[in-house]
Chain A
Amino acid sequence: MAAALLVTGSASARATKHCVETGTVVGETQCRSFGTSWATERSIPFFGGIGVWSSSISSSFAAKFSGTTIAADSAQLSPGPLRAHGGELRVGIQLSPYAYLGFGYGLALGANSSRTIESDGYRVALRDGINFIHGRFAPFVGVRAPLGRVSLRAELAPAVQVQLVLFKATAAGGPEKPGSAGSIGVILEPRLAVDYWLTPDTTLSLWSGANAMRPGDLTFGLSLMGHLRAFDGAY
Protein backbone atom coordinates (compact mmCIF):
# COMPACT_ATOMS: atom_id res chain seq x y z
CA MET A 1 0.00 0.00 0.00
CA ALA A 2 2.82 2.39 0.88
CA ALA A 3 4.34 1.84 -2.50
CA ALA A 4 1.01 2.54 -4.14
CA LEU A 5 0.69 5.82 -2.30
CA LEU A 6 3.88 7.25 -3.67
CA VAL A 7 4.14 8.61 -7.15
CA THR A 8 7.78 8.90 -7.84
CA GLY A 9 7.52 10.71 -11.10
CA SER A 10 6.75 10.06 -14.73
CA ALA A 11 7.18 11.72 -18.08
CA SER A 12 4.15 13.88 -17.45
CA ALA A 13 4.67 14.53 -13.77
CA ARG A 14 7.35 16.32 -11.88
CA ALA A 15 9.89 13.99 -10.35
CA THR A 16 8.82 14.59 -6.79
CA LYS A 17 7.76 12.19 -4.09
CA HIS A 18 4.52 13.91 -3.25
CA CYS A 19 1.35 12.10 -4.04
CA VAL A 20 -0.74 13.17 -7.01
CA GLU A 21 -4.42 12.63 -6.33
CA THR A 22 -6.32 11.30 -9.29
CA GLY A 23 -9.80 11.11 -7.88
CA THR A 24 -12.01 11.18 -4.86
CA VAL A 25 -13.68 7.86 -5.49
CA VAL A 26 -12.67 4.69 -3.68
CA GLY A 27 -10.44 2.74 -6.04
CA GLU A 28 -9.25 5.84 -7.83
CA THR A 29 -7.67 7.66 -4.92
CA GLN A 30 -3.90 7.41 -4.72
CA CYS A 31 -3.08 9.61 -1.75
CA ARG A 32 -5.35 8.21 0.88
CA SER A 33 -6.93 4.84 1.32
CA PHE A 34 -10.49 4.04 2.28
CA GLY A 35 -11.32 5.22 5.79
CA THR A 36 -8.29 7.47 6.21
CA SER A 37 -10.11 10.40 7.74
CA TRP A 38 -12.64 8.60 9.88
CA ALA A 39 -11.69 5.03 10.78
CA THR A 40 -10.07 4.08 14.05
CA GLU A 41 -7.93 1.52 12.26
CA ARG A 42 -6.47 4.23 10.01
CA SER A 43 -5.42 6.57 12.83
CA ILE A 44 -1.93 6.39 14.25
CA PRO A 45 -2.19 6.10 18.02
CA PHE A 46 0.35 8.81 18.79
CA PHE A 47 -0.08 11.26 21.61
CA GLY A 48 1.91 14.27 22.66
CA GLY A 49 1.65 17.41 24.65
CA ILE A 50 3.05 19.93 27.00
CA GLY A 51 2.70 20.52 30.68
CA VAL A 52 3.91 22.09 33.84
CA TRP A 53 5.58 20.12 36.60
CA SER A 54 7.17 20.58 39.96
CA SER A 55 9.75 18.62 41.82
CA SER A 56 10.53 18.46 45.49
CA ILE A 57 13.74 16.66 46.28
CA SER A 58 16.45 16.37 48.87
CA SER A 59 19.95 16.61 47.51
CA SER A 60 23.42 16.30 48.96
CA PHE A 61 26.37 17.55 47.01
CA ALA A 62 30.09 18.07 47.11
CA ALA A 63 31.76 20.82 45.13
CA LYS A 64 35.35 21.82 44.49
CA PHE A 65 35.66 25.40 45.50
CA SER A 66 38.96 27.31 45.38
CA GLY A 67 40.82 24.03 45.80
CA THR A 68 38.68 22.90 48.70
CA THR A 69 35.91 20.36 48.58
CA ILE A 70 32.77 21.70 50.15
CA ALA A 71 30.20 19.11 51.16
CA ALA A 72 26.67 20.15 51.94
CA ASP A 73 23.20 18.79 52.13
CA SER A 74 20.09 20.54 50.95
CA ALA A 75 18.42 19.63 54.24
CA GLN A 76 20.99 21.87 55.95
CA LEU A 77 20.98 24.66 53.37
CA SER A 78 17.26 24.90 52.78
CA PRO A 79 14.47 24.88 55.39
CA GLY A 80 12.69 22.26 53.28
CA PRO A 81 13.39 20.10 50.25
CA LEU A 82 14.64 21.86 47.12
CA ARG A 83 11.73 22.76 44.91
CA ALA A 84 11.64 23.60 41.21
CA HIS A 85 8.87 24.39 38.76
CA GLY A 86 9.02 24.15 34.98
CA GLY A 87 7.71 22.79 31.74
CA GLU A 88 7.74 19.40 30.10
CA LEU A 89 7.24 17.85 26.69
CA ARG A 90 5.85 14.39 26.33
CA VAL A 91 5.25 12.14 23.32
CA GLY A 92 4.30 8.50 23.03
CA ILE A 93 2.37 5.80 21.29
CA GLN A 94 -0.43 3.52 22.43
CA LEU A 95 0.57 -0.13 22.06
CA SER A 96 -3.07 -1.01 22.69
CA PRO A 97 -5.92 0.93 24.32
CA TYR A 98 -4.48 -0.28 27.62
CA ALA A 99 -0.71 0.08 27.29
CA TYR A 100 1.64 2.75 26.02
CA LEU A 101 5.22 3.91 25.93
CA GLY A 102 7.02 7.12 25.13
CA PHE A 103 9.40 9.65 26.53
CA GLY A 104 9.31 13.02 28.20
CA TYR A 105 11.69 15.86 28.76
CA GLY A 106 11.34 18.38 31.53
CA LEU A 107 13.26 21.34 32.83
CA ALA A 108 12.44 23.07 36.09
CA LEU A 109 13.95 26.00 37.96
CA GLY A 110 13.65 26.82 41.62
CA ALA A 111 14.36 29.80 43.83
CA ASN A 112 14.59 28.28 47.28
CA SER A 113 15.08 30.11 50.52
CA SER A 114 18.35 29.37 52.23
CA ARG A 115 20.08 29.00 55.55
CA THR A 116 23.76 29.73 55.96
CA ILE A 117 25.90 26.84 57.14
CA GLU A 118 29.58 26.38 57.97
CA SER A 119 31.37 23.80 55.84
CA ASP A 120 35.08 23.20 55.47
CA GLY A 121 35.96 26.70 56.59
CA TYR A 122 33.38 28.39 54.37
CA ARG A 123 30.08 30.01 55.11
CA VAL A 124 27.84 28.46 52.47
CA ALA A 125 24.34 29.50 51.38
CA LEU A 126 22.14 29.05 48.33
CA ARG A 127 22.36 31.90 45.88
CA ASP A 128 19.64 34.51 45.77
CA GLY A 129 17.20 34.01 42.89
CA ILE A 130 17.31 30.80 40.86
CA ASN A 131 19.41 28.37 42.87
CA PHE A 132 18.21 24.94 41.80
CA ILE A 133 17.92 23.56 38.26
CA HIS A 134 16.33 20.19 37.70
CA GLY A 135 16.25 18.52 34.28
CA ARG A 136 15.22 15.07 33.26
CA PHE A 137 14.84 12.87 30.22
CA ALA A 138 12.47 10.07 31.00
CA PRO A 139 11.40 7.18 28.79
CA PHE A 140 8.24 5.65 30.21
CA VAL A 141 6.02 2.63 29.84
CA GLY A 142 2.56 2.46 31.31
CA VAL A 143 -0.83 0.85 31.53
CA ARG A 144 -4.18 2.58 31.29
CA ALA A 145 -7.66 1.88 32.59
CA PRO A 146 -10.34 3.65 30.52
CA LEU A 147 -13.27 4.67 32.71
CA GLY A 148 -15.28 6.87 30.38
CA ARG A 149 -14.39 10.55 30.51
CA VAL A 150 -11.71 9.69 33.03
CA SER A 151 -8.87 7.25 32.68
CA LEU A 152 -6.35 6.12 35.24
CA ARG A 153 -2.76 5.38 34.38
CA ALA A 154 0.20 3.81 36.12
CA GLU A 155 3.62 4.12 34.57
CA LEU A 156 7.26 3.48 35.24
CA ALA A 157 9.94 5.93 34.13
CA PRO A 158 13.66 5.16 34.31
CA ALA A 159 14.72 8.80 34.12
CA VAL A 160 18.08 10.39 33.51
CA GLN A 161 18.10 13.21 36.00
CA VAL A 162 20.34 16.28 36.09
CA GLN A 163 20.49 18.53 39.15
CA LEU A 164 22.42 21.72 39.58
CA VAL A 165 22.60 23.55 42.90
CA LEU A 166 23.83 27.14 42.78
CA PHE A 167 25.38 28.43 45.97
CA LYS A 168 27.65 31.13 47.30
CA ALA A 169 30.50 30.65 49.72
CA THR A 170 32.56 33.02 51.81
CA ALA A 171 35.89 32.17 53.38
CA ALA A 172 36.70 33.87 56.69
CA GLY A 173 37.42 37.51 55.88
CA GLY A 174 37.23 36.84 52.16
CA PRO A 175 34.81 37.96 49.46
CA GLU A 176 31.67 36.06 48.60
CA LYS A 177 32.17 33.76 45.61
CA PRO A 178 29.56 31.92 43.54
CA GLY A 179 29.76 28.19 43.08
CA SER A 180 27.73 25.35 41.69
CA ALA A 181 27.45 21.63 42.17
CA GLY A 182 25.89 19.35 39.64
CA SER A 183 24.99 15.71 39.48
CA ILE A 184 23.63 13.37 36.87
CA GLY A 185 22.11 10.02 37.56
CA VAL A 186 19.43 7.54 36.68
CA ILE A 187 16.40 7.15 38.86
CA LEU A 188 13.39 4.87 38.64
CA GLU A 189 10.16 6.75 39.06
CA PRO A 190 6.76 5.08 39.35
CA ARG A 191 3.92 7.48 38.56
CA LEU A 192 0.17 7.60 38.84
CA ALA A 193 -1.97 9.79 36.60
CA VAL A 194 -5.59 10.75 36.08
CA ASP A 195 -6.71 11.86 32.62
CA TYR A 196 -9.82 13.86 31.90
CA TRP A 197 -10.95 13.84 28.27
CA LEU A 198 -11.83 17.41 27.31
CA THR A 199 -12.66 16.20 23.80
CA PRO A 200 -12.32 12.75 22.17
CA ASP A 201 -8.75 13.67 21.28
CA THR A 202 -7.60 15.95 24.10
CA THR A 203 -6.82 15.17 27.70
CA LEU A 204 -5.91 17.16 30.73
CA SER A 205 -3.83 15.01 33.04
CA LEU A 206 -2.76 15.26 36.63
CA TRP A 207 0.15 13.06 37.57
CA SER A 208 2.46 12.41 40.45
CA GLY A 209 5.59 10.36 40.85
CA ALA A 210 8.16 9.37 43.45
CA ASN A 211 11.75 8.30 43.18
CA ALA A 212 11.75 4.57 43.98
CA MET A 213 15.21 4.89 45.54
CA ARG A 214 14.38 8.03 47.57
CA PRO A 215 10.62 7.96 48.12
CA GLY A 216 10.72 11.44 49.64
CA ASP A 217 11.68 12.92 46.27
CA LEU A 218 8.39 13.75 44.63
CA THR A 219 7.27 15.14 41.30
CA PHE A 220 3.83 16.17 40.15
CA GLY A 221 2.45 17.92 37.13
CA LEU A 222 -0.39 18.93 34.87
CA SER A 223 -0.31 18.06 31.16
CA LEU A 224 -2.41 18.95 28.16
CA MET A 225 -2.18 16.18 25.61
CA GLY A 226 -3.40 15.66 22.07
CA HIS A 227 -4.24 12.14 20.88
CA LEU A 228 -4.43 11.12 17.24
CA ARG A 229 -6.75 8.22 18.10
CA ALA A 230 -9.96 9.20 19.89
CA PHE A 231 -10.00 8.12 23.53
CA ASP A 232 -6.80 6.21 22.78
CA GLY A 233 -8.99 3.52 21.26
CA ALA A 234 -11.21 2.75 24.26
CA TYR A 235 -13.63 4.92 26.18
Chain B
Amino acid sequence: MRVLSLLLLFTTSCFGLLRANTPDPLTDDAEVDPRAIRTAGELQVAFALRFVGSADGAPMLTVWLRNDGNEKIPVDLANLRIEGLSAGGTRALDLVDPRGELEPLHVEPGVVGRERIRLADGKRALGELRRVCVDAGSMLPSAPSAGRVCFVPGAGASWAVES
Protein backbone atom coordinates (compact mmCIF):
# COMPACT_ATOMS: atom_id res chain seq x y z
CA MET B 1 0.00 0.00 0.00
CA ARG B 2 2.88 2.34 0.78
CA VAL B 3 4.44 1.64 -2.63
CA LEU B 4 1.09 2.32 -4.27
CA SER B 5 0.74 5.63 -2.46
CA LEU B 6 4.25 6.68 -3.46
CA LEU B 7 3.58 5.71 -7.08
CA LEU B 8 0.40 7.76 -7.04
CA LEU B 9 2.12 10.76 -5.50
CA PHE B 10 5.04 10.56 -7.95
CA THR B 11 2.74 10.29 -10.95
CA THR B 12 0.52 13.21 -10.00
CA SER B 13 3.58 15.33 -9.14
CA CYS B 14 5.14 14.62 -12.53
CA PHE B 15 1.98 15.65 -14.36
CA GLY B 16 1.66 18.75 -12.21
CA LEU B 17 5.24 19.83 -12.93
CA LEU B 18 4.87 19.06 -16.62
CA ARG B 19 1.76 21.17 -16.96
CA ALA B 20 3.11 24.01 -14.82
CA ASN B 21 6.25 24.29 -16.95
CA THR B 22 4.65 23.95 -20.35
CA PRO B 23 4.81 27.28 -22.21
CA ASP B 24 1.47 28.76 -23.09
CA PRO B 25 1.56 29.23 -26.86
CA LEU B 26 -1.17 31.85 -26.72
CA THR B 27 0.04 34.29 -24.11
CA ASP B 28 3.75 33.53 -24.59
CA ASP B 29 3.67 34.03 -28.35
CA ALA B 30 5.14 37.43 -29.17
CA GLU B 31 2.97 37.53 -32.28
CA VAL B 32 -0.19 37.69 -30.21
CA ASP B 33 -1.31 41.15 -29.21
CA PRO B 34 -3.39 40.81 -26.01
CA ARG B 35 -5.89 43.27 -27.52
CA ALA B 36 -6.57 40.73 -30.29
CA ILE B 37 -7.77 38.04 -27.89
CA ARG B 38 -11.48 37.39 -27.50
CA THR B 39 -12.93 35.09 -24.88
CA ALA B 40 -16.10 33.07 -25.34
CA GLY B 41 -16.74 30.89 -22.32
CA GLU B 42 -13.80 28.50 -21.98
CA LEU B 43 -12.53 29.30 -25.46
CA GLN B 44 -10.02 32.01 -26.24
CA VAL B 45 -9.42 33.06 -29.80
CA ALA B 46 -6.75 35.44 -30.98
CA PHE B 47 -5.95 36.90 -34.38
CA ALA B 48 -2.92 38.44 -36.02
CA LEU B 49 -2.59 39.88 -39.47
CA ARG B 50 0.54 40.46 -41.50
CA PHE B 51 1.61 40.83 -45.09
CA VAL B 52 3.44 37.93 -46.61
CA GLY B 53 5.70 37.98 -49.59
CA SER B 54 3.13 37.01 -52.17
CA ALA B 55 2.74 38.67 -55.52
CA ASP B 56 -0.62 40.24 -54.72
CA GLY B 57 0.44 41.46 -51.28
CA ALA B 58 -2.29 39.42 -49.59
CA PRO B 59 -2.46 39.64 -45.82
CA MET B 60 -2.21 36.41 -43.92
CA LEU B 61 -4.48 35.82 -40.97
CA THR B 62 -3.23 33.77 -38.03
CA VAL B 63 -5.89 32.33 -35.75
CA TRP B 64 -5.14 30.87 -32.32
CA LEU B 65 -7.69 28.72 -30.54
CA ARG B 66 -7.34 27.78 -26.91
CA ASN B 67 -9.80 25.61 -25.02
CA ASP B 68 -9.37 25.91 -21.26
CA GLY B 69 -12.46 23.84 -20.53
CA ASN B 70 -13.20 20.16 -20.37
CA GLU B 71 -15.71 20.03 -23.20
CA LYS B 72 -14.84 20.18 -26.87
CA ILE B 73 -15.98 23.44 -28.44
CA PRO B 74 -17.28 23.83 -32.01
CA VAL B 75 -15.61 26.26 -34.39
CA ASP B 76 -16.25 26.89 -38.06
CA LEU B 77 -13.47 28.87 -39.67
CA ALA B 78 -15.10 28.54 -43.06
CA ASN B 79 -17.82 30.78 -41.70
CA LEU B 80 -15.40 33.45 -40.42
CA ARG B 81 -16.63 36.88 -41.51
CA ILE B 82 -13.88 39.31 -42.49
CA GLU B 83 -14.40 42.82 -43.76
CA GLY B 84 -11.88 44.95 -45.58
CA LEU B 85 -12.09 48.69 -45.85
CA SER B 86 -10.46 50.55 -48.71
CA ALA B 87 -11.05 53.80 -50.53
CA GLY B 88 -13.73 52.04 -52.54
CA GLY B 89 -15.73 51.08 -49.46
CA THR B 90 -16.20 48.05 -47.27
CA ARG B 91 -16.30 44.57 -48.73
CA ALA B 92 -16.15 40.96 -47.53
CA LEU B 93 -12.82 39.17 -47.77
CA ASP B 94 -12.47 35.45 -48.25
CA LEU B 95 -10.15 32.87 -46.79
CA VAL B 96 -7.98 31.07 -49.32
CA ASP B 97 -8.84 27.37 -49.16
CA PRO B 98 -7.77 25.78 -52.44
CA ARG B 99 -8.03 22.21 -51.11
CA GLY B 100 -11.37 22.71 -49.38
CA GLU B 101 -9.96 21.91 -45.97
CA LEU B 102 -11.89 24.40 -43.89
CA GLU B 103 -14.79 22.66 -42.24
CA PRO B 104 -16.60 22.78 -38.90
CA LEU B 105 -14.46 21.12 -36.21
CA HIS B 106 -14.25 20.96 -32.42
CA VAL B 107 -11.36 22.35 -30.38
CA GLU B 108 -10.00 19.66 -28.08
CA PRO B 109 -10.10 20.38 -24.35
CA GLY B 110 -6.76 21.57 -23.01
CA VAL B 111 -5.12 22.37 -26.34
CA VAL B 112 -3.95 25.45 -28.18
CA GLY B 113 -4.21 25.37 -31.95
CA ARG B 114 -2.92 27.74 -34.58
CA GLU B 115 -3.83 28.08 -38.21
CA ARG B 116 -2.50 30.47 -40.83
CA ILE B 117 -4.85 31.34 -43.65
CA ARG B 118 -4.28 33.72 -46.53
CA LEU B 119 -6.96 36.27 -47.32
CA ALA B 120 -8.39 36.71 -50.78
CA ASP B 121 -10.37 39.43 -52.41
CA GLY B 122 -12.35 39.03 -55.61
CA LYS B 123 -11.35 42.54 -56.63
CA ARG B 124 -7.65 41.72 -56.31
CA ALA B 125 -7.10 44.97 -54.46
CA LEU B 126 -5.75 43.72 -51.16
CA GLY B 127 -2.88 46.18 -51.29
CA GLU B 128 -5.36 49.04 -50.97
CA LEU B 129 -6.86 47.87 -47.71
CA ARG B 130 -6.82 50.41 -44.93
CA ARG B 131 -8.60 48.40 -42.29
CA VAL B 132 -9.49 44.74 -41.81
CA CYS B 133 -12.00 43.52 -39.21
CA VAL B 134 -12.48 39.91 -38.14
CA ASP B 135 -15.74 38.90 -36.49
CA ALA B 136 -14.73 36.25 -33.95
CA GLY B 137 -18.33 35.35 -33.18
CA SER B 138 -19.02 34.34 -36.78
CA MET B 139 -16.85 31.26 -36.39
CA LEU B 140 -18.23 30.31 -32.98
CA PRO B 141 -21.69 28.74 -33.18
CA SER B 142 -21.88 28.75 -29.38
CA ALA B 143 -20.84 32.42 -28.96
CA PRO B 144 -21.96 34.49 -31.94
CA SER B 145 -21.46 37.73 -30.01
CA ALA B 146 -17.79 37.12 -29.15
CA GLY B 147 -16.80 40.44 -30.72
CA ARG B 148 -14.63 41.80 -33.53
CA VAL B 149 -10.94 42.50 -33.85
CA CYS B 150 -9.87 45.22 -36.26
CA PHE B 151 -6.45 45.79 -37.75
CA VAL B 152 -4.84 48.75 -39.48
CA PRO B 153 -1.58 48.69 -41.43
CA GLY B 154 1.34 48.99 -39.09
CA ALA B 155 5.08 49.22 -39.43
CA GLY B 156 6.68 46.83 -41.90
CA ALA B 157 4.69 43.72 -42.71
CA SER B 158 2.63 43.76 -39.55
CA TRP B 159 -0.86 45.02 -39.08
CA ALA B 160 -1.59 46.61 -35.74
CA VAL B 161 -4.65 45.96 -33.64
CA GLU B 162 -6.90 48.98 -33.77
CA SER B 163 -7.47 50.32 -30.29
Residue of B nearest to A41 (CB): B105
The winner among A26, A34, A224 for most chain B CB atoms within 10 A is A26
Q: Which segment, of B11-19, B27-35, B134-142, B151-159, faces chain A?
A: B11-19
A19-47 CB contacts (< 8 Å) to partner B = 24-27, 33-35, 37-43
Is A7 interfacial (CB-CB < 8 Å)?
Answer: no
Question: A235 contacts B109, CB within 8 Å?
Answer: yes
On chain B, the residues within 8 Å of A233 by CB distance are 72
Is B113 interfacial (CB-CB < 8 Å)?
Answer: yes
With A198-B11, A204-B11, A230-B72: A27-B118 Cβ-Cβ less than 8 Å: yes
Is B4 interfacial (CB-CB < 8 Å)?
Answer: yes
Q: Which of A4, A25, A27, A35 contacts B105 (CB 8 A)?
A: A35
In the assembled complex, the Cα of A230 lies from the Cα of B95 at a distance in Å of: 29
Considering the complex of A and B, which 8 residue pairs feature the smallest CB-CB distances, nearest first? A38-B113, A200-B110, A34-B101, A39-B105, A40-B106, A235-B70, A27-B98, A230-B109
On chain A, the residues within 8 Å of B11 by CB distance are 198, 204, 224
Question: What residues of chain A have their CB less than 8 Å away from a CB belonging to chain B?
Answer: 4, 24-27, 33-35, 37-43, 148, 198-202, 204, 222, 224, 229-231, 233, 235
Question: What residues of chain B have their CB less than 8 Å away from a CB belonging to chain A?
Answer: 4, 8, 11-12, 15, 19, 52, 60, 65, 70-72, 77, 95-99, 101-103, 105-118
On chain B, the residues within 8 Å of A235 by CB distance are 70-71, 109
Question: B4 contacts A222, CB within 8 Å?
Answer: yes
Residue of B nearest to A34 (CB): B101
With A27-B99, A27-B101: A202-B15 Cβ-Cβ less than 8 Å: yes
In the assembled complex, the Cα of A201 lies from the Cα of B28 at a distance in Å of: 23
In the assembled complex, the Cα of A148 lies from the Cα of B70 at a distance in Å of: 8
On chain A, the residues within 8 Å of B98 by CB distance are 27
In the assembled complex, the Cα of A7 lies from the Cα of B155 at a distance in Å of: 38
Question: B97 contacts A26, CB within 8 Å?
Answer: yes
On chain A, the residues within 8 Å of B72 by CB distance are 40, 230, 233
B59 to chain A, nearest CB (A): 12
On chain B, the residues within 8 Å of A204 by CB distance are 8, 11
Question: A26 contacts B95, CB within 8 Å?
Answer: yes
In the assembled complex, the Cα of A166 lies from the Cα of B131 at a distance in Å of: 82
Question: A198 contacts B109, CB within 8 Å?
Answer: no
Question: B12 contacts A198, CB within 8 Å?
Answer: yes
Residue of B nearest to A26 (CB): B117
Since A26-B101, A34-B77 are in contact, a sample of 11 more A-B pairs with Cβ atoms closer than 8 Å, ordered by chain A residue number, is: A27-B98, A27-B99, A27-B101, A37-B113, A38-B111, A38-B112, A40-B107, A148-B70, A204-B11, A230-B72, A235-B71
